[in-house]
Amino acid sequence: MKLPIKVDLTGKVAVVTGAGGVICSVMAEALAACGAKVALLDLNMEAAQKNADAIVAEGFVAKGYKCNVLEKESIEEARDAIAADFGTCDILVNGAGGNNPKATTDDEYFRPEDLGNMKTFFDLDPDGVSFVFGLNYMGTLLPTQVFAKDMVNKEGANIINIASMNAYTPLTKIPAYSGAKAAIVNFTEWLAVHFSKVGVRCNAIAPGFLATAQNHALLFNEDGTPTARTGKILAGTPMDRFGEPQELVGALLFLASSEASGFVNGVCIPVDGAFAAYSGV
């Protein structure tokens, strides 16, 4: 990996949740390339270890751990295993999250004639909504409860949450995911204040539109052509393209470095190709 900036994280232990996925595996790789010992956590142990093995093959230190971010006991087991392997956590990246079709409407705008013909707001599965909100919000809160205990009064300790541009401009069809990511921004600010007296900084990154496996079906048809939703996204993104996971690395390393961002606390950095700045006219 070619790093956009090089920061020294030698001796630091970085914990990345959701590291079986593309975005968080790239973040894990960047932290390792800066000298950190990186623990890749994911419910899919095979994916986490595969990504960890790729990092080790580059000459860095990493290991995969199975972890369910919605079960505190599972997180505690991962914490104990990481402490035995690498030491206690210095940098926590809360990257686990995602959406679910059960919490997604079929319509962008409600029309009475749609009732009974498609999944409207009134048809959303309460369990699906709870799952999406829980995965994103509780899946950030619970790992923070577990790992932040070891970070108190530790030099250079910081938490980096992964929010979304949904937090500021909710997208159509995905009310649970948008609401949960808005909660993550608020929670980030709350944590920054709460831990301000014990040396733990907390910030967030809000990615714009990235084309990943998770949203591929929304963005591209089976034949690879862009969907109508992709057209809308690009029309609202002044840079006329999707972002790449590697383009989040600069913000990540800036926030991870006490030398670069030691007085930055409680902020959420958009990485969105000017999506949020564009009014549409």
DSSP notation for 131-193: HHHIIIIIHHHHHHHHHHTTTTT-TT-EEEEE--GGGTSPPTT-HHHHHHHHHHHHHHHHHHH
- Options 137, 168, 177, 278, the catalytic residue: 177
DSSP 130: H
CA atoms of 35 and 135, how far apart (whole Å): 30
Tokens in use for 17?
């949740």
Q: Which two tokens stand for residue 87?
A: 């030491």
**Torsion, CA 114, CA 119, CA 120, CA 121, rounded to 10:** 170
Tokens of 81: 């295993």
Nearest one of 252, 164, 168, 147 to 212, comparing CA atoms: 164
Active site residue 177: yes
Q: Mind telling me the catalytic residues?
A: 177
